[in-house]
């Protein structure tokens, strides 16, 4: 399944709000590594995405996510649609 770039854009737009201004964010950025977010911030961020897409992300799937593209793919598999 190709990654839905609209979902990627929504994720990046949200990440821009919680990272320092000017942080370079690409689909390949590692969420914990490159963006330096702590686990509490990531959890709140995932809960925000769950609201947007009206899905619940099981915990084991969050653990497997490295990059933004991974996250978009996981959300898509759980039924996320960019125009919902």
On whether the CB atoms of residues 25 and 71 are closer than 8 A, the answer is no
Exactly one of 1, 38, 83, 84 binds other proteins (CB under 8 A); that residue is 38
Q: Does 56 bind other proteins (CB under 8 A)?
A: yes
User: How far separated are the first and last CA of the chain, in Å rounded?
Assistant: 19
Q: Does 39 bind other proteins (CB under 8 A)?
A: yes
Considering only 2-10, 19-27, 34-42, 67-75, which stretch makes contact with other proteins by CB under 8 A?
Answer: 34-42
Of 56, 57, 45, 61, the closest CA to residue 11 belongs to 45
Q: Does 64 bind other proteins (CB under 8 A)?
A: no
């Amino acid at each position: 399944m190709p990654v839905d770039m609209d979902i990627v854009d929504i994720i990046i737009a949200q990440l821009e709000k919680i990272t320092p201004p000017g942080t370079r964010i690409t689909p390949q950025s590692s969420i914990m590594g490159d963006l330096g977010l702590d686990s509490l911030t990531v959890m709140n961020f995932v809960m925000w995405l769950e609201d947007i897409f009206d899905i619940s992300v099981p915990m084991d799937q969050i653990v497997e996510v490295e990059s933004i593209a991974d996250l978009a793919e996981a959300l898509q598999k759980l039924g996320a649609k960019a125009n919902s």
